[in-house]
């Protein structure tokens, strides 16, 4: 063959974009997609991947994860690749990442070095700004480093993680001025601390009291407040892990007014409820808490109608032992240490002392496909919008990432809709030894993952070695892609 021969032909599959599903072949040359169409000659590539009877998707972008507990970038990226994810955008916080101390800028530098050395997937980064960060100095510096998105916690005041509203408004205004965007964990932390304290003082520390300590209205209030700040500073705003049905009307109202407000939810808020909390105790402790079936349906409806723009995993990489011991969470000041109730073997006796966070990256695509597409709640193109295209568009990576079109990075997933499998700890490829989706039977799974033209997962085997991952500096000119008042996809 000639030297123009391409490297791979992904043949005979159904190629899915955000607008259609079509029987097409995808030709990969080097690190990029060379051609997509129904008329690609079969001899055009050195190797043919037969995707008959399968879907060919752009690699999923997981824009919400915290690989700084048991799983770091090395094992997290492998687990993500098995789940059909090809780009990860973790949260970086000062004082984390390989023992970094000092500023958030230092933490980002260490994080990039760690990712280039250990990740098997390309990665970007968001900066988490906490109360102690110098936002005037750091926000412009971070944007110059390609970190465009700044997450702020409207909760956890006693743990020193919440950023006070005055600092938050300043950070949002700076992000807006410099071409970045703001992200919030929207829950009213003062009211949560009050309720938690009250429950503890009354001896109500078993799992059933966890969700009532963080009622839905506290999320809705914080979404409203964050959107108000974004509106007055003209800044795009991304609300992570929406969970409460009451938040949907608020998002709808602000989107109607033209605010670039983006909503994210997670597989756990689509497919799990407070029943899991009552059963699994500490292992199911996440914030916002797992809610009711009506909230799951509201999240699905938001995904279908455009109120919710993306799905992220919120993977934390905790082991059961870390969850029991409170994990990375700084020890709260001692409060009523004498109070203890009977706990399950999977968690501490006081639910308020358990760590926040779960493990759900590898399961994310099958859970959203199964509950969304198989059960008729969203279409397959909509899945590609919310899991591939929109995160790329919002975080300044489109069209290099998130789409199968000529010139884009060859980040490709072959998804077999006929594979029936059971989700659980035994089937995942991370150090974390549990998942909230334990025992869930789903139909459909990623069976092949390629990133920038190199096979990462094939036949259940990891093919790529670390050391080739690229740090993806977000482009401020491309971020928050949609024109004002329009859903990104």
Span interacting with Zn ion, options 132-140, 200-208, 313-321, 439-447, rule CB under 5 A: 313-321
The CA distance from 269 to 280, in Å, is 16
**Could you tell me how many residues of this chain bind Zn ion (CB under 5 A)?**
1
Count of helix runs (H) and strand runs (E) in the chain: 14, 18
Tell me if 49 sits within 8 A of 9, measured CB to CB: yes
Nearer to Zn ion, 219 or 314 (CB): 314
Angle at the Cα of 417 (from 415 to 421), degrees rounded to 5? 95
Q: Is the dihedral of CA 214, 219, 222, 226 positive or negative?
A: positive
Nearest approach, Cβ of residue 265 and Zn ion (Å): 12
Nearer to Zn ion, 8 or 153 (CB): 153
Tell me if 65 sits within 8 A of 100, measured CB to CB: no
Nearest approach, Cβ of residue 291 and Zn ion (Å): 16
Nearer to Zn ion, 25 or 314 (CB): 314
Nearest approach, Cβ of residue 360 and Zn ion (Å): 11
Nearer to Zn ion, 316 or 384 (CB): 316
Among the listed residues 314, 353, 362, 411, the single contact to Zn ion using CB under 5 A: 314
Residue nearest Zn ion, Cβ-based = 314
Q: Is 68 in the site for Zn ion (CB under 5 A)?
A: no
Nearest approach, Cβ of residue 146 and Zn ion (Å): 21
Span interacting with Zn ion, options 314-322, 369-377, 403-411, 416-424, rule CB under 5 A: 314-322
Q: Are strands 32-37 and 122-123 parallel, antiparallel or unpaired?
A: unpaired
Nearest approach, Cβ of residue 276 and Zn ion (Å): 18
Find the Cα–Cα–Cα–Cα dihedral 242, 18, 390, 64, rounded to 10°: 60
Span interacting with Zn ion, options 7-15, 312-320, 436-444, 474-482, rule CB under 5 A: 312-320
Q: Is 138 in the site for Zn ion (CB under 5 A)?
A: no
Q: Is 389 in the site for Zn ion (CB under 5 A)?
A: no
How many Cα atoms are found within 13 Å in the side-chain-facing hemisphere of 353? 20
Token code pair at residue 454: 């190199």
Closest among 487, 458, 453, 457 to 468, alpha carbons compared: 453
Nearer to Zn ion, 221 or 314 (CB): 314
Nearest approach, Cβ of residue 372 and Zn ion (Å): 21
SS3 state of residue 87: strand
The CA distance from 277 to 210, in Å, is 8
Find the binding residues for Zn ion in span 270-289 (CB under 5 A): none
Nearer to Zn ion, 196 or 314 (CB): 314
The residues binding Zn ion (CB under 5 A) are: 314
């Amino acid at each position: 063959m000639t030297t123009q021969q391409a490297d791979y032909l992904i043949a005979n599959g159904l190629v899915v974009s955000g607008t259609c599903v079509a029987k097409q072949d995808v030709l990969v040359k080097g690190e990029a997609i060379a051609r997509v169409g129904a008329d690609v000659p079969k001899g055009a590539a050195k190797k043919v991947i037969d995707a008959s009877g399968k879907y060919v998707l752009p690699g999923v972008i997981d824009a919400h994860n915290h690989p700084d507990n048991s799983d770091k970038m090395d094992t997290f990226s492998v687990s993500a690749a098995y789940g059909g994810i090809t780009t990860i955008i973790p949260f970086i916080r000062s004082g984390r990442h390989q023992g970094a101390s000092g500023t958030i800028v230092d933490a980002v530098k260490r994080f990039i070095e760690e990712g280039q050395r250990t990740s098997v997937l390309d990665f970007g980064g968001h900066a988490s700004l906490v109360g102690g960060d110098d936002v005037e100095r750091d926000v412009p510096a971070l944007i110059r480093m390609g970190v465009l998105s700044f997450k702020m916690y409207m909760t956890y005041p006693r743990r020193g993680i919440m950023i006070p509203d005055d600092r938050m408004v300043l950070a949002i205004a700076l992000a807006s001025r410099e071409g970045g965007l703001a992200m919030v964990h929207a829950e009213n932390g003062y009211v949560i601390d009050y309720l938690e304290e009250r429950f503890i003082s009354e001896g109500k520390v078993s799992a059933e009291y966890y969700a009532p300590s963080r009622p839905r209205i506290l999320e809705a209030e914080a979404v409203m407040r964050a959107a108000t700040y974004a509106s007055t500073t003209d800044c795009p705003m991304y609300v992570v892990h929406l969970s409460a049905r009451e938040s949907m009307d608020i998002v709808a109202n602000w989107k109607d007014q033209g605010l670039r407000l983006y909503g994210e939810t997670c597989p756990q808020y689509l497919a799990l409820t407070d029943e899991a909390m009552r059963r699994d105790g500490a292992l199911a402790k996440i914030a916002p808490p797992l809610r009711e079936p009506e909230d799951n349906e509201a999240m699905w409806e938001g995904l279908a109608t455009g109120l919710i723009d993306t799905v992220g995993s919120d993977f934390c990489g905790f082991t059961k032992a870390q969850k029991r011991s409170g994990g990375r969470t700084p020890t709260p000041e001692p409060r009523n240490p004498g109070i203890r109730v009977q706990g399950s073997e999977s968690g501490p006796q006081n639910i308020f002392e358990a760590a926040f966070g779960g493990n759900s990256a590898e399961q994310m695509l099958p859970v959203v496909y199964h509950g969304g597409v198989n059960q008729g709640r969203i279409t397959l193109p909509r899945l590609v919008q919310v899991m591939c295209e929109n995160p790329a568009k919002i975080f300044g990576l489109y069209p290099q990432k998130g789409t199968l079109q000529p010139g884009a990075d060859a980040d490709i997933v072959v998804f077999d809709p006929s594979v029936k499998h059971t989700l659980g700890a035994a089937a995942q490829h991370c150090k974390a030894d549990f998942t909230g989706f334990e025992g869930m039977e789903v139909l459909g799974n990623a069976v092949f993952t390629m990133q920038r033209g190199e096979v990462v997962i094939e036949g259940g085997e990891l093919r790529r070695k670390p050391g080739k991952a690229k740090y993806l500096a977000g482009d401020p000119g491309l971020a928050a892609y949609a024109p004002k008042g329009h859903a990104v996809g």
